[in-house]
Structure 1
């Protein structure tokens, strides 16, 4: 009985959210709005290989070969902004 109630509540929420955005098809859903919060997230230089999806050694070579990668330096540590790095990767990939 509890699961039926929970299911009705979830269905009501999803239907209500869909109706709220019915006349605005370009609006973002919950998952997209959560994803936009990490656009300003900084990635440490030692963790950039996880974001790119390559080995740590390949990331070091990529960084060394392309000093134009958008980055910032804070207290002598290099950080990469997620959305800027994503844009840069798309630009060099095309």
Structure 2
């Protein structure tokens, strides 16, 4: 009888783990595992880059070849590619 309670408890613990793990990205199902979205709108870019909006605007004006997507008139930036582009040596050579 005690063994039955053990398996019920273990099953409930696993159930709680899998439900909790599934709820991590409930509001953002297409997000990346790191918690950042895959695509960021231009107006929200300053939040993820931790810059002031003026600095982001200046950066994008200075480097119009930043990785971006234009969908239905809205500009999106792929976060992982943008961070990789910002940290690339080619960007520093252009200055």
Specify the TM-score bucket, using the shorter chain as the normaliser. 0.5 to 0.7
Greater RCO (Cα-Cα under 8 Å, separation 6 or more): 1
Q: Which 5+ residue runs of structure 2 have no aligned equivalent?
A: 1-8, 18-31
Question: Which consecutive segments of 4 or more residues in structure 1 shift more than 4 A?
Answer: none
Say if 2:88 is the partner of 1:87: no
CA offset at residue 52 of structure 1? 1.1
Larger Rg: 2
RMSD of aligned Cα (Å):
3.0
Which of 46, 49, 54 is residue 57 of structure 1 equivalent to? 54
Q: Which 5+ residue runs of structure 1 have no aligned equivalent?
A: 14-32
Q: How many residues align?
A: 65
CA offset at residue 34 of structure 1? 2.6
Question: What's 1:78 paired with?
Answer: 75
Higher helix proportion (structure 1 or 2) = 1
Structure 2 length-normalised TM: 0.56
Q: Deviations over 1:37-90 (max 9, x none)?
A: 757x10000011111111001111111110010000001110000110110111
